[in-house]
Amino acid sequence: MKKTFLYIFLTAGAVIFLYPFIWMISASLASENEIGGLIFLPSDFTFNSYVQMFNKIPIGKAFVNSMIVSSCVTFGVLVFGSMVGYALSRLEFKGRDLIFYIIIFTMTLPFQITLIPQYILIVRFGWVDSYAGLIVPYLMNALAIIMFRQYFKSIPQDLIDAARIDGCGELRIIFGILWPNSIPVLVTVGIITFMTSWNEVLWPLIVIRNENLMTMPQLVTLFAVGGRAESQLGVKLAAATILALPIVTAYLFFQKYFIQSMASSGMKE
């Protein structure tokens, strides 16, 4: 009896969280005049909305842009994050504590304060409408450094000493010895960074004006608010569906890692 109630509530919850997505996909496949009355499945499937959307905006190009930007940002955050995390956790040097406090400070600093001056920097560097403008400011991430530092602390010193005796330099130790032993933290930082970068909209809206360089969420946002969807609901929903597709697909395969990664990043703050 008690169990029944439990399942009723859980199922109701699942419906509330999943149904809007199902409706979105259905609506994107329905004809324009059916959407207004659509409850579940359309009477007739059509790819018309998708065809129109592909004709109106360079969504394929935007997908490639997003892939390039998010991959570069993720790669940079992993490489630089582990270098700094290693130095902070395993090496002794003057100013180490100061650097650690700086990192903690940047984590608490609200982005609203740096938004305007960072844009001015990008203008001065000539990076408006360039990948560099989207990538370089995000190459370092305080949370990633902290997570690497934490994880590297737990790796036995013997492993590092043995590598030193074999003549490994510090970079070889980080990328040849520590990385293969740090898969969980690499996955966690990788997923959070990639996802945050992929879903970022405000910064691209500021830095990119050329349609061929826009990221996917930016292009879809401007499409939805800019009037080019000509208030056709189906076309907007098709754009939203295409935008959700890559991350949702990744989520279906690595669902457990997504949840664990996001939860552990929340815990750290």
Partner 1 sequence: MRKKIIPYLLVSPYIVHFIIFVAFPVGFSIYLTFNNWNIISPMEFTGLNNYKRLFQDAVFWKSIFNTLIFLAIHIPLQIIVALFLAELLNQKINFRGFFRAAFFLPVIVSGVVVTILWQQLYGFDTGLINRLLVKIGFEKIGWLTNPNWAMPSIAVMATWKNVGLYIVLFLVGLQTVPPQYYEAAELEGATHMQKFLKITLPMINPTIFMVVVLSTVGGFSLFIEPYVMTGGGPLNSTISAVLYIYKQGFFYYHMGYAATLGLFFAMLILTVVMIQKKFVEKDK
The greatest distance separating any two alpha carbons of the chain, rounded to the nearest whole angstrom, comes to 73
Amino acid type, 23: W
Give the binding-site size for partner 1 (rule: CB under 8 A).
Answer: 85
Residues whose CB falls within 8 Å of the CB of residue 79, separated by 6 or more in sequence, listed in order: none
User: Shortest gap between Cβ of 146 and partner 1 (angstroms)?
Assistant: 12
Counting contacts by CB under 8 A, is residue 23 touching partner 1?
yes
Of the candidates 89, 254, 134, the one whose C-alpha atom is nearest the C-alpha of residue 188 is 254
- The H helix count followed by the E strand count for the chain is 14, 0
Q: Which is nearer to partner 1, 98 or 183 (CB)?
A: 98
247 sits near partner 1 (criterion: CB under 8 A): yes
Report, in Å, the least distance between residue 38 CB and partner 1: 8
Pick from 32, 187, 201, 211 the residue near partner 1 by CB under 8 A: 201
70 in Cβ contact with 197 (< 8 Å):
yes
CA distance 70 to 128: 18
Q: Which window, 57-65, 67-75, 149-157, 235-243, contacts partner 1 (CB under 8 A)?
A: 235-243
Q: Give long-range contacts, CB 8 A cutoff, 24+ apart: 230-235.
A: 232/32, 232/49, 232/52, 233/27, 233/32, 233/35, 233/36, 234/27, 234/28, 234/30, 234/31, 234/32, 234/35, 234/48, 234/49, 235/49, 235/52, 235/53, 235/56
Which residue in the set 1, 4, 17, 227 belongs to the binding site for partner 1 (CB under 8 A)? 17
Give residues 171-200 in contact with partner 1 (rule: CB under 8 A).
Answer: 195, 198-199
CA distances from 130 to 117, 210, 213, 223, 225 (A): 18, 9, 7, 20, 23
Query: Shortest approach of partner 1 to residue 32 CB, angstroms?
Result: 11
Question: Is the CB of 186 or the CB of 217 nearer to partner 1?
Answer: 217
Of 51 and 225, CB closest to partner 1? 225
Structure tokens belonging to residue 41: 């499945």
Q: Does 253 bind partner 1 (CB under 8 A)?
A: no
Binds partner 1 by CB under 8 A, chosen from 63, 127, 175, 251: 251
The reply to whether 30 sits near partner 1 by the rule CB under 8 A is: no
Q: Show contacts with partner 1 in window 88-147 (CB under 8 A).
A: 88, 91-93, 96, 99, 102-103, 106, 108-121, 123, 136-137, 139-140, 145
Compute the least distance from the CB of residue 180 to partner 1, in Å.
Answer: 19
Nearer to partner 1 by Cβ, of 60 and 209: the residue is 209
Residues 39 to 98 in contact with partner 1, rule: CB under 8 A:
39, 80, 83-84, 86-88, 91-93, 96
